[in-house]
Structures are given as C-alpha cells and as structure tokens.
Amino acid sequence: MVGKTTVLLDGSSLTREQLVAVARHGMGVELDARQLQRVQRAADFLADKVSCGEPTYGVTTGFGSNADKLLGAHRLRDELPGGHPDKPEGTLLEELQHNLIITHAVCVGKPFAADVVRAMLVIRINTLMRGHSGVRVKTLQALAALLNSGIVPVVPEKGSVGASGDLAPLSHLAIVLLGGGEAFYQGCRMPGAEALKLAGLEPIRLSFKEGLALNNGTAQMLATAALALHSLQYLLDTADLAAAMTLDAFAGRSGALRPEVHALRPHPGQVGTAAHVRELLDGSTLVDIPYHLVPRFKSWTAEAWSEPEDQALSFDIGWDWVPANQRHGREAFYARFLPFKGGKKHQPQDAYCLRCMPQVHGAVRDAWAQACRVIDIELNAVTDNPLIFPDAEEPRFIEDQVISAGHFHGMPLALAMSYVKAAIPVLASISERRLNKLVDPATNDGLPAFLTGNEDGTDSGFMIVQYTAAALVNDLATRAHPASVYSVPTSANAEDHVSMGANEARHVLDMIDDLGHVIALELYTAAQALDFRQAMLNAARRVAARGDWKTIAGKVSNAPREDHPHHAQFIEEVKRLTAALADVGDFHAGEAVRDAHDVLRQQIGFMARDRAMDADVRTVCELVRDRAFG
C-alpha cells in the first residue's frame, strides 16, 4: 500500500486484503511508475510490429473463429455508393477493438454489487500492469481514473462461460470507458457517457489489442471468488464460536478437542479448528463438569421453589437416583461420580455434531485455504491472450514474441471454487444439526423442549427456528452441484472447452449469505440454551449453598420412601450431592463465549415466553453480517 487511502498496483504484489480494501472500503489505486515503463514498452513493440505489417491475432486478424480473417487497409463496403454511414471513426484496427467491446457486452440479470465491480476493476488494472498485454499507459490511467472517481459500471451477473475469460462481463466493464453502456455514479444509474462527464472524465478510443486486453481474462470469477473467500474466512471463525457456545450449552466434553488427539491426524484445518475452539472455551466451568452436578429441566409448578429469589424462575429441576442394586459392574464409575442422573448422559462421548466438529469445520477450512492459494496466484497473473514478450531474446518470427496461449481459461479457479461450493452446505449442515439437538428434548441433555418453559402448553419456543435452518441447508445443498463439470462449447467450436468458473464463483458468493444465516440461527438458539443451562445449574447451586438438602432430595423423581431399605443410603448420597453443588463456584461459559453472548444479549433478550421472533432473527443475522462477533 502507498498510504491509508491508496493501494499501489504493480502487477505482482496485489493481496486479497488490498483487493477488499479497494472493493469494500473505498480505497483508491495508484499505478507503479516503474512498471508503467514496461507497459509502454509492450505497447510500443506492438505498434512497431503493426507498422511493419506483421499479422497478429486479435490485432490484424479477427477473433475466435474469425482468426483466419486478415484485416485489410480499408473497409470493403467503403467502395460501394454511399459508403458505410454508421462506421466509427479511426482505422479498421481501432474499429476491431471497439466492436469487440460493444458486441460482447451482452450479459443479463441484475447488476453485480458495487464491491464486485470495483474488485473486477482492480484485478483488470493489476494484470495489465504486468506489461504483457500491449495496452497503452494512458488506457491504464483512464481505467484507474474510472475506479478512483467512484464510477461503477453496470455489469449484469450472468453471461460468462469462463473461457475466453469473462468476455461479456468485462465488456460491460470496459464499454463505459468508451462512453457507452451504463454506470452507477453517486448512487444513481445513468448512461456511461453521462457518468464520465459528471466525474470530469473523457471517453477513450482503443488502440491495438486494447479491447482484447480489457475483456479477455478472469476478473469476474476472480473478483467474486476473492470476495466470497474474504466473507467465508469470518464465517469459519463464527461457526467455531457457535459450536463453542453450543458445547458450553450442552455442558459437553472437551476430550475430542485436545491437541494430542489431533496430532495423530494433523490435517491443518482440523488442528487449527480444535485449537480455536479450545481457546474460545477457555475459562468455562460448564465443559467437563461431573455428570451428577447437571440437573435436567422439569416444568415449573407453583410449589417448585420455596425461596423468594427462586420463585421467579420459569422452570423446575430434577435428577433420578441410581439405587445400589443397579450399580453392578459400574462400581469404578460411581467411585468417581455420585449416583444421580440429571441432564448429562452417562457416556464418555458427545454426538458427532459436537465431537467431530474439528474434523468437519477443519475440512471446510482446508477447502477455503486451498482456494485462497489459487486466488493469491491468480491475483497477480496475466490472463489475457495473446501474450506479448517484447524482450524475448533473438526472436525469429512474430510468434516468438506474441504467443497465443490459454491463461484466460478459468479452470484453476473453477475447480477451487467447486471445492468451496461443496464445503459450504457441509458447514451449514453441521450447524443445523447442533441447533436441532438443542431444541429436541430427546437429544438436548436435559434442556426444555424447544428451549421454552411452556408450562401451559401454549409456547412453541425455538421450534420453527430449526425449520428455517433446515430450509436453508436444503437450499444450499441443491445449489452445490459443480458448474465446472459441465462445459458448453462456444464461438462456433473454436472455444470447445470452457470452465464455467464465473458461474461457480458467483454461486459461492451468493451462498455465503445463507451460510451466515444458518450460523446466526445457531448462535441465537445456543444463547437461549446457554441461559437455561446456567440458570438451572446456578439454581441448584444456590439451594445447595443454603445447605438445603431436603429441597434437593425433593427434586429427585424416584426418591425412596422413608420405609424403603435404601432410604438411609439415599439421604446420605443426597447430602453428598448437596455438598458437591455447594462447593463449586458460579457456572459460566468460556470467556470468549461469554463475550459473544453479551454482544447478542445487548440486542436480543432471553425469551422466557413466546414472542414475535422475526425481529430477533433479523437482528442476529445482521450481527453476523456486520461481524459483530469479532
């Protein structure tokens, strides 16, 4: 970067962070002066070859299936009576470049968001700065001025097959430079010529190969991919946070997160995810607490609590006692834990959606990292055609210095984004499974059904939140089919294999929002569950701290009668449970989980009874979208 408001473009050092700074945060660009000398050298070389009559693809020939047509000195139709009344000014070579742009700007659909278009402009300028495309310095300066002025060309979303590059969308980008097309300027949509005029800019006329250099490349698919990966990076961390909050709400087990476990299968994403979740859970007194301390939810009754500070609670709590004659073969277990069953199952492992979270989140993180590797290379790659090598040593023919190649083919990006595209519904799916586990009384380890007290049978609680998450997961899954496996030949079969990378990357960018919504819904639900879990545990602790073992005994559903032979043993063990509860401190989540819970609760209160939830859902989705969780 040059300064706080400018990114220096030299063709070789553009980063994803810099791209996002320009695309989403309004930074401008500056062109590296030394690299512009290289740009001009390639343009001068090309002009010299044209003046010598050298045949060059896309300069003195047609494009694609018209490549066998050499341009003449004048238009054939000019010799007819009346000439060619609608011909543009300039030579046939200039007309070729002009026509390439105006005839290729044929995309359909809604316009791309401004950040995508600005990213496309940055990418196009940066690749042309490498000096292998033949554009003039003044053309690059005009493109940079367009970006810095705040003009955003109208680029409809659909129309690229990803080879030869993103021809149609990049033509919409370039046509505004010529005074055509449409653009947004200062929030208004208008003709491109009017936007240029209002910004104090002049339209340009294209020279040799400049039309081809402007529209032949991977800038649309790269822009959408880079922005999608930037958003996904935050959602990966937020998904870990949601999982940590859910694990705390379950009073779950941390063994599956331990570093020595993941050292045995050291996939980078898996190792990193486990470490991140351990960090998020640091300071938790809920994870790994003894089974017997965790009560299960019981519906509130008027007789549930005797003390004034407890009577406002919306729930009752309870345990089951395990009689001595049911402990055979489990003596070692009951030497460690008291013989009470509450909300935490007596088993050494959690469900897959909790226990396998490092493996699943980590695999998605690895897919993201692989795509980032591809994008980082592409950001500083030359992707148009043909490629110009003005400094080639001892060239014998023009073909030695102007080489037709295939860098416009988007398959490296397409396959990388196919991987990410398949990973997105996987991350959404495991998030929804955790959400579902939280609301289902058969699986939520003693929390209330649908996370509401519902003593009168009138409340639905968080029931339909899971429906929405399920619908989103299904929608994401049905959109995950890879576009890259389905090539449709174009240009009269001259371009007989294409990447469909533009569709692939656009799909991923569109899917990011729904992934964020699913993760937001898990956070919303986990916060409610966490409040219940902490309230239930701390209610039990308060009773125990008063030494009120009789109240604790009264909350054991199968307490033996006084005349039962095991009654004395039961009383002794209830007193031990009471003492164990009294000895522990306040029950709370990990520090980072608490911080996230506080952020959410500042905007959305605990739902003690049914209320309209649409505003809650909208708010939590906005919190995730606005990166409120760090």
Alpha carbon distance 249, 536 (integer Å): 11
Q: How far, CA to CA in Å, does 265 sit from each of 255, 271, 281, 333, 359?
A: 15, 8, 22, 30, 10
**280-291 as b/e: b if 16+ CB within 10 A:** bbeebbbbebeb
DSSP code string of 232-274: HHHHHHHHHHHHHHHHHHTT---GGG-HHHHTTS--HHHHHHH
DSSP code string of 176-236: GGGT-SEEEETTEEEEHHHHHHHTT-------TTHHHHHHSSSHHHHHHHHHHHHHHHHHH
| Other residues' Cβ atoms within 10 Å of the Cβ of residue 582 | 18
Among candidate residues 219, 31, 20, 27, the one with its CA nearest the CA of residue 123: 219
| Other residues' Cβ atoms within 10 Å of the Cβ of residue 567 | 13
Q: Which residue has the tokens 């020939």?
A: 61
Which residues are tagged catalytic? 57
Looking at residue 238, its amino acid is T
And the tokens for 250?
A: 């379950």
Among candidate residues 11, 201, 272, the one with its CA nearest the CA of residue 122: 11
Alpha carbon distance 83, 411 (integer Å): 45
